[in-house]
Amino acid sequence: MADKLSRCAIYTRKSTEDGLDQEFNSLDAQHEACAAYALSQRHEGWMLLPERHDDGGFSGGNMQRPGLQRLMTEVAAGRVDVILVYKIDRLTRSLADFAKIVEVLDGAGASFVSITQSFNTTTSMGRLTLNMLLSSAQFEREVTGERIRDKIAASKRRGLWMGGPVPLGYEVKERKLVVNEAEAELVLHLMRHYLRVESVVELADELNRQGYRTKVQQRASGPNRGGCIFRRRTLYHLLSDRIYRGMVVHRGEAHAGEHEAIVPQELWDEVQHTLAARAQGTARRLKAKEPSLMTGLLMDGEGRAMTPAHATKSASRYRYYVTRPDLIDGSPAWRVSAHDLERLVCNRIAAFLFGSAGTQLGSRAAGRRCSGAALVDQRCRCGGSHSAERLGSCSPRRPEVSGQTDRAPARSHQHRLSPAKTACGPRCTG
């Protein structure tokens, strides 16, 4: 018997979910073979840990796998000494990811064993063999992916539906989309009702109040999805999905599909025109008395889009930029003062255009909620040009006369800019 006890953990993986619902599937077969190998090494002090680390339906091209992440955590904590896999490509099909795994193993003093492939990584020849195996696995994965993508592209060009979540209004029969009459009526109701309210938010509230729910997606393995309330993102996708016009879309290109259209062309065109006119922030920006300058340009620290918001207290209006509510997924929402942020941006733009003298201009422009365009050199009604330091100070341009040397100095003067001449509107008075 060996003096040192080696704690072993088995890792299994299958790229697709096909067959995972069987009583004895591929993951079970891999685990059984690895457990038998661990049993044969008892004389070496190997002890098999009871916890399983399975990843069914996950690609080996990345490390975003719950079973592998959990196993790496156990290794880093020093609770696993040996990782057992059926083949090296079950652990990973990427050379870069394998280097990361080996780094974790070396740091914890652990190792891994492929029970069907014999090589010794302590020698240069063994490491070469391992790299060749991993390169072959990565090449196989990439070639397989290319073949699948080419097949999907060719099929969609012919109008074939290639799987995925079944759209509301259809059901699948013999791998083809067939119109579900009851759901098709709901799709038409959604389209018509949107044209009446012209607001996706109001449409979602009305549908949820009436008890409508999203389509339940029946899955071969795992829990079913859907059956929840309608959200803005769901409705935006549904209202603009060209599949309801009998088309199949691939990489932005629409192809005539085999399935029947649900929405007539006239209704579809009206809905798309309304969506375009009511695009994110467009309607509010056109009507706002105090427009938010950074609309559509900001992202919070989590990479989520931010949208304008405001609060009113004691007849005062306070503007903010906040994380869009439909993108809040557990992390706290962000909120920043619109006035402070816009003044900072205007200051930076002014400093970039005019140097240190433009910083004060940027603050003044932001205080007037100027778009920043007023900082560009303006012409007055007198024909003069403004200086960067004072928007209301003009020095008239004198005509250049050939041969003229003695000219009376032009008189500087002060006057207000005409609203038509300012870039920031009537609120700017110089």
DSSP secondary structure of 192-257: HHHHHH--HHHHHHHHHHTT--PPPB--SSS--B--S---HHHHHHHHH-GGGGTEEEETTEEEE-
Does the structure show a pLDDT above 50 at 240? yes
Closest CA to 10 of 62, 58, 48, 47: 48
Residue with tokens 């950074």: 294
Q: Which two tokens stand for residue 379?
A: 């012409």
Alpha carbons 175 and 249: distance in angstroms, whole number: 17
Domain 170-277: which CATH class? alpha beta
Average pLDDT over residues 405-421: 41
Q: Is 47 helix (H, G, I), strand (E, B) or coil?
A: strand
Alpha carbons 345 and 359: distance in angstroms, whole number: 10
Does the structure show a pLDDT above 90 at 186? yes
Each domain of the chain, given as residue ranges in start order, spans 6-151, 170-277
Backbone conformation region of residue 62, classed left if phi is above 0, alpha if psi is from -120 to 50, else beta: beta
Closest CA to 422 of 360, 369, 379, 366: 379
Alpha carbons 71 and 82: distance in angstroms, whole number: 11
Q: Are 415 and 421 in contact (CB under 8 A)?
A: no
Q: Which of 75-84, 123-132, 360-369 has the lowest mean pLDDT?
A: 360-369
Q: What is the pLDDT of residues 332-354, one digit of tens each?
A: 889 999 988 888 888 888 888 88
The torsion defined by the Cα of 256, 261, 263 and 268, in degrees rounded to 10, comes to 0
The CATH number assigned to the domain with range 6-151 reads: 3.40.50.1390
pLDDT at 360: 57
pLDDT at 316: 82
Does the structure show a pLDDT above 90 at 179? yes
Q: Which two tokens stand for residue 310?
A: 């405001």
Q: What is the pLDDT of residues 23-80, one digit of tens each?
A: 888 999 999 999 999 999 888 889 999 999 999 988 888 888 999 999 999 999 999 9
Alpha carbons 367 and 94: distance in angstroms, whole number: 54
Q: What is the pLDDT of residues 266-323, one digit of tens each?
A: 999 999 999 888 775 555 555 556 678 888 888 888 888 899 888 888 878 888 999 9
Does the structure show a pLDDT above 50 at 419? no
Q: Which two tokens stand for residue 202?
A: 């109001």
Q: Are 129 and 120 in contact (CB under 8 A)?
A: no
What's the gap between Cα 74 and its chain centre?
31
pTM value is 0.47
Alpha carbons 320 and 334: distance in angstroms, whole number: 10
Q: Are 9 and 68 in contact (CB under 8 A)?
A: no
pLDDT at 404: 43
